[in-house]
Amino acid sequence: MDMRIGTWKVRSLYRTGSLTAVARELARYKLDLVSVQEVRWDKGGRVRAGSSNFFYAKGNKNHQLGTGFIVHRRIILTAKRAEFVSDRMSYIRVVLRDFWHNVHRNVD
C-alpha cells in the first residue's frame, strides 16, 4: 500500500467551511496523512471531514496556534494514537505493518 504524507500550515480553520475546503484539497492531491498547523480551534477532539478524520488539539485562548492531523479513512486503522504535547507540538503513531516487507521485497 502506498501512503502519501504531507504537512500544511493552514493559517486558520476557525472560519466556517475551512475544514471542508482543506479536506477537498487533500482529496484532490490524494494525501493520506497530513499534519496541519495553526488550527485555532477550542478544546480538542475528532471530527469527520469528507473521506477523512480530523484529530485536533486546542490552540490558546485567543484562537491562535493549535495542531492537528487529517487521516484518510483508508488508513484510519493504522493510526493508533495522536498525542498533543502543546499548542505547537504534536505527534501521531501510525503502524506500517507491510512497509518493511515491501522494502525487503523490492531489494531482492
**Nearest residue to 41 via CA among 18, 16, 64:** 64
**pTM, full prediction:** 0.74
Determine the 3-state secondary structure of 71 from DSSP. strand
**Nearest residue to 55 via CA among 4, 90, 20:** 90
Q: What is the pLDDT of residue 101?
A: 47
Cα 11 from Cα 1, distance rounded (Å): 31
Cα 71 from Cα 74, distance rounded (Å): 8
Q: 90: which 3 cell numbers? A: 504534536
Name all domains of the chain by residue range, CATH numbers in brackets: 5-107 (3.60.10.10)
Q: 91: which 3 cell numbers? A: 505527534
At 4-59, the pLDDT tens digits run 888 888 877 777 888 888 888 888 999 998 888 878 777 778 889 888 888 888 76
DSSP element (H, E) containing 104: helix 99-107
Q: 29: which 3 cell numbers? A: 492531491
Return the sign of the alpha-carbon dihedral for residues 34, 40, 43, 47: negative
